[in-house]
Every structure is written in C-alpha cells, then in structure tokens.
Amino acid sequence: MCTIPRAASNVLTCTDSYSFLGRSLTSEGPLSRFVLIKAVLGPIMRLMFRPQVEGAEHIPGDGPVILAGNHLTFIDSMILPLVCDRQVFFIGKDEYVTGKSLKGRLMAWFFTGVGMIPVDRDGGRGGVAALMTGRRILEEGKIFGIYPEGTRSPDGRLYRGRTGIARLTLMTGAPVVPFAMIGTDKLQPGGSGMPRPGRVTVRFGEAMEFSRYDGMDRDRYVLRAVTDSVMTEVMRLSGQEYVDMYATKAKAA
C-alpha cells in the first residue's frame, strides 16, 4: 500500500543532496509509485489531454540522458513523466511538497512519485544543489529532465537558456534529447488553475552529444555555445519565437 510521504522531510538542500539521493533514487520494485501513478493517472491524462507524442524513439532505452525542453505552464511537469517509458527525474520547487493540506500532501505524493526532487532554492545556493542533483542522477544512469529557461515562459515565447544544462552534459557525457511542449499553455493559461481538456503535443528531437568539448566545462564561451545549440533545437521543435534574454528578467520588467 502506498502512503503519502511526510513532505517537509523531502526537501533537498545544497548540503544534503548526496545523502538524499542515496535514499530516494533506489528502486521501489515493480509496484513503485511511479508505475502505480502511470497505471492509474495515465489513462485519465490521455483522455483529458490527448497527447500526441512524436520522436520518442530518440530517447535511449538505457543509460544517462538529459531531456531539455521549453516550459509553458505547470502541467508540463505532469505530462512529461507520463509520456516517457523510462522514469524522468527532475528538479521542482520545494513548495510543491511542503503543503500541509490534503491537496498539498497529494501533490507531494504525485510529484515525488513521478520523479520530482524538491530543492530549496532560497539563499542563492539552489543552483548548486540542482546541478549536483542532476549530476548524481546522470551518474546513476537515469534520465534527468530540465527546463533550461529556468522558469515558465511569461508570454509563450522561448527565452535564453541558462548554462547549467551545458555543465551537466560536459561533466557527465550524457547526451541531450531536446523536446518541445506544444499547446499546454492553451489548456492552462497563466500557468495556474484547473487545466481545460484539449490536445497537446510532446515532440522529441534527435539526441545531441558534445564530446568534442570534453574537459571544457569551465569555459564560459563553450558553455554558452552548447546551451544555445540546445535552445536552437528546442525552438525548431516548438516553433516558438526566440527572445535573447532570460525569462526571469522579462518577468521582472
């Protein structure tokens, strides 16, 4: 029987990332929460969002993989894990698992079950925690999902990627599979509230590898070039207009 976890104890900080991962990323067996969630919610999600998945064959069947894509709305993080055969681990806001209401506890059970690892991003150290977490996941041969923009798009356009994704692929050698969420912002405008039923498309591109830059994960020009290459592919897959500035800056304007 699955139980709702004590959400507050699941928040990852920069200092406890390795011990947290040592406990949380072990296999839960054939009847894991991930399998249960896909079996129960998968059909409901398919009926509600009618996802059309393109290019899933580009995701390797084993070994470390980075999935990198655009981020339009909250439900992106619900749809992506349910359309992939392999479990996708990804970073999420700690507030998704710290709610004490029934809704908050159910959200914690769902997101930690599908692979979200909550990170406390306060104090300016969250970026380091996220990077170390992603590296550990990839070193264990798993899939790590990331939104290079760092936050949801404020207006449906694609914004400049942050270089954490480049650091991860260069540090671990994991290939990057770009993806695009298309239509989720139409079903959940503004990124909050109950989403409307409708059709979404999840489109995966061919795997990208950057072995030619081995040992250059501290070169800022290389990091920017790798990140821009990934974002160019995401733009091609999504058809979004590209904006050469960070989404956080656009939101603050």
- Give the pLDDT confidence score for residue 189 in this predicted structure: 81
* Residue 109 parent element (H or E): helix 102-114
CA-CA distance, 61 to 58, in Å (whole number)?
A: 9
Q: pLDDT tens digits, the chain, 253 residues: what are they? A: 333 333 333 344 333 333 333 334 444 444 477 777 778 777 888 888 889 999 999 999 999 999 999 999 988 988 898 889 898 998 876 666 666 777 777 777 777 777 777 776 554 566 787 888 899 999 999 999 999 999 999 999 999 999 999 999 999 999 999 999 999 999 888 766 777 888 999 999 999 999 999 999 999 999 999 999 999 999 999 999 999 999 999 988 7
* Residue 133 parent element (H or E): helix 126-139
Which of 105, 95, 97, 163 minimizes the C-alpha distance to 134?
163
In sign, the C-alpha dihedral spanning 192, 232, 116, 38 is positive
- Give the pLDDT confidence score for residue 61 in this predicted structure: 95
Beta strand pairing call for 201-204 and 176-182: antiparallel
Exposure on the CB side of residue 55, measured as CA atoms within 13 A = 16
**Residue 239, burial from CB neighbour count under 10 angstroms (0-12, 13-18, 19+):** exposed
- Give the pLDDT confidence score for residue 122 in this predicted structure: 57
Could you tell me the pTM of the whole model? 0.81
- Give the pLDDT confidence score for residue 120 in this predicted structure: 65
